[in-house]
Amino acid sequence: MSRNGKILYKNLSPSVNKDGLLFEIDSTFPPVGEEVQNIIYVQPLTLNNDGITTDMKVDGSTTVQEFYIESENDYDIIINSVSFFIGAETNVIDLFEFGAINGTLSNGCQLVYESSKYGEIFIGDNLNSNFELLRMCNMNPEFGLTSNEAFEIVQTFSNNDRGYFFILKFSNYGYESEYRGGLRLKKNEKERLVFKIRDDLNFIVSELSSLNGTAYGYKTVTS
Amino acid sequence: MSIRTNIEDGSGNGYLAKVSPQGFLYTQEAPYPPTDEETKITVYREFLTLNNDGTTTDMRVNGSTTPQEFYIQAEPNVDIYITTVSFIIAGPGATLNEFANLAALTNGCRFYYEDNNGEINIGANLVSNFEFVRLCQGNPSFGGGASAFLANNVVGTSEAFIPVFDFRNFGFKWGLKLTSATLNRLVLEVNDNLTPSANLTGFNAIAYGFRRVLT
């Protein structure tokens, strides 16, 4: 058996309408005395997480080469987005190419979330062209004045390069876009976000001059 | 043992708050903000200035020997929340691989904040226009090809890259907090010789957000 009760603040009580909906209102300012603190997190994906090797132009055809970030001991890491740049020193670059390699890769790259609890979750598989990278990133960011130069940027790292700059936003995958959102790398657990190279990417610079990725998000500190 | 209680409408018509079969309490959000909040927030807009002097906004300085710090800092009686930082890097004919229209920098700028956790790097080795654009996650995105992210005639007739760093993209719902009565600060550190030249016609940053007046 239950009783009826009212939530009271002084002599005020919230309304409930005939549909059974309790009226609520959000504050327009942050809470005072937060117990959880965020620390910004910006890390490139590096070879075997060495913290140094950001250049993904490596030979992964025999042994898969892994560029990744992983969970830390003290903090949960929440990844909101990952940016990629791919480019070549060329006058023409197209979305069907990988960099400016005329023809797609045999195996393609993969972006994988690995967790001891959930195993391997493929975010991107068979990423064998610029377009497949773009598609994984939900066509973000969108720009380009004409269809010929859609998503394309030039002179990014050298005077002669052309390339694409893509940003994967986990909010596009349904993660909460405000402060809790993002892919979580849980502390003390072997969780990783890995970009895997499964082809030989040692191409000349006119075919592939740059390929790298950077993860963005925050760490949570509980006092 | 707990007491089972229904939540009843406050005006006395007997309506009870519903819970869905999946266990969610049904609520309905007000279409307007609260009318009687005691906490006030006010707009915050400040340039990052040299040593927080409040005057020197031009970041075209020589930081090659001694790093030069442009920053904003916490205030005594209000919490500051920084939601965005707007940068201008201007030089005629600037391209992404340059810094303004200079060759990519040797050391690069460092963008960081300092709080009770120490110095937290947001971006280090920001040697080129692209590194700023990338740090700001391509925000705002416009143009295309040679004009991607590049705006015309921003400083006189100089083109400029105008990236905006948004803390909300990094999971900070209300922005970066500079807690009142602390030494928390947000810093852009110049580590190269960026003295004004025809190739570097503008470089500055403005922080936007709000102050929460503590009652």
> Scanning every residue of chain B, which has its alpha carbon at the shortest distance from the alpha carbon of A1?
B4
Residue B166, φ and ψ in degrees, nearest 5 = -120, 110
Report yes or no on A1 lying in a domain: no
Report yes or no on A13 lying in a domain: no
Q: Which of B124, B105, B163, B70 is nearest to A40 (CA)?
A: B124
Asked if residue B215 has pLDDT above 80, the reply is: no
By the CB < 8 Å criterion, does A92 face chain B?
no
Give Cα separations from A70 to A56, A171, A191, A211, B138 (angstroms): 17, 20, 6, 20, 25
Report yes or no on A19 lying in a domain: no
Q: What is the pLDDT of residues B167-176, one digit of tens each?
A: 998 888 889 9
Asked whether the beta carbons of residue A30 and residue B174 sit closer than 8 angstroms, the reply is: yes
Residue of higher predicted confidence among B1 and A190 = A190
Q: What is the pLDDT of residue A63?
A: 98
**Structural domains of chain A, count:** 1
CATH fold of B40-213 reads: Adenovirus Type 2 Hexon; domain 4 (2.70.9)
Mean pLDDT, to the nearest integer, of B98-123?
Answer: 96
Q: What is the pLDDT of residue A176?
A: 66
Report yes or no on A31 lying in a domain: no
Q: Are strands B27-29 and A22-24 parallel, antiparallel or unpaired?
A: parallel
Report yes or no on A144 lying in a domain: yes
Strands (E), B157-201: 158-161, 164-166, 176-178, 185-190
Report yes or no on A132 lying in a domain: yes
- How far the first Cα of chain A sits from its last, in Å, is 41
pLDDT band with cut points at 50, 70 and 90 for residue B148? very high
Q: What's the gap in Å between the CA of A63 and the closest CA on chain B?
A: 30
Report yes or no on A192 lying in a domain: yes
Report yes or no on A29 lying in a domain: no
Lookup: tokens for A131: 């377009």
The pLDDT mean for chain B works out to 93
Residues in chain A closer than 8 A to B25 (CB atoms): 22
Q: What is the pLDDT of residue B127?
A: 98
Q: What is the pLDDT of residues B28-66, one digit of tens each?
A: 888 877 877 777 888 999 999 999 999 999 999 999 999
Asked whether the beta carbons of residue B144 and residue A159 sit closer than 8 angstroms, the reply is: no
Cα distance between residue B138 and residue B166, in whole Å: 11
Q: What is the pLDDT of residue A104?
A: 81
Q: What is the pLDDT of residue B36?
A: 77
| Residue numbers of the domain that contains A107 | 36-222
By the CB < 8 Å criterion, does A156 face chain B?
yes
Write out residues in chain A with pLDDT < 70, as ranges.
33-35, 176-180, 222-223
